[in-house]
């Protein structure tokens, strides 16, 4: 059994860590003349005849809450992961669909590294190295056409 002095020390230490100690005294036919009830947040013990017994009771209640919380958080985590996997799969499917749609929707306007402009797929940049000859032919033709249309013959 705990001495009254030590009981006071324990009550102060419990109060310091946020555990409320309620002491109720009963007269008459009550089961115990004094009942200790410990309250830690949402966890509370039943009335116990000594502070020691109340502490054991609190440990038991806290262990229950902890294991329940662990199971709950594990399940919540599992559910969240399943949801996330589902979202990733849905997103992947969506991307594949979009990719297929884009592939069908050619031509696509693409930025050109040669002229700084943009061309549709299937079009060849007149400034692209592979098209130098074609560009030259184009320029020659244009000059030829200009010369013969403004000549005034």
> Nearest approach, Cβ of 122 to Zn ion (angstroms)?
13
Burial 101-114 (b: 16+ CB within 10 A, else e): eeeeeeeeeeeeee
**Residue closest to Zn ion (Cβ):** 125
The reply on whether position 112 binds Zn ion by CB under 5 A is yes
The reply on whether position 135 binds Zn ion by CB under 5 A is no
CA distances from 83 to 69, 79, 87 (A): 20, 6, 6
126: enclosing H helix or E strand: none
Interacting residue with Zn ion among 115, 130, 141, 145 (CB under 5 A): 115
Q: Where are the alpha helices (DSSP H) in the chain?
A: 4-16, 51-104, 132-149
> Nearest approach, Cβ of 135 to Zn ion (angstroms)?
10
47 touches 30 (CB < 8 A):
no
Q: Which is nearer to Zn ion, 96 or 109 (CB)?
A: 109
Interacting residue with Zn ion among 61, 114, 131, 135 (CB under 5 A): 114
Q: Which is nearer to Zn ion, 65 or 112 (CB)?
A: 112
> Nearest approach, Cβ of 150 to Zn ion (angstroms)?
28
How remote is the C-alpha of 94 from its chain's centroid?
Answer: 20
- Which chain residues interact with Zn ion by CB under 5 A? 112, 114-115, 125
């Amino acid at each position: 059994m705990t001495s009254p002095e030590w009981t006071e020390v324990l009550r102060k230490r419990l109060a310091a860590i946020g555990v409320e100690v309620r002491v109720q005294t009963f007269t008459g036919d009550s089961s115990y003349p004094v009942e200790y009830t410990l309250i830690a947040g949402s966890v509370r013990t039943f009335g116990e005849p000594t502070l020691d017994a109340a502490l054991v009771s609190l440990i038991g209640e806290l262990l229950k809450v902890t294991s329940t919380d662990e199971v709950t958080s594990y399940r919540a985590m599992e559910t969240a992961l399943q949801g996330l996997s589902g979202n990733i799969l849905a997103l992947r499917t969506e991307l594949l669909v979009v990719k297929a749609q884009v592939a069908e929707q050619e031509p696509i306007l693409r930025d050109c590294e040669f002229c700084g402009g943009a061309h549709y797929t299937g079009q060849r940049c007149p400034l692209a190295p592979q098209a130098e000859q074609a560009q030259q032919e184009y320029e020659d033709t244009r000059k030829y056409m200009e010369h013969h249309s403004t000549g005034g013959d």
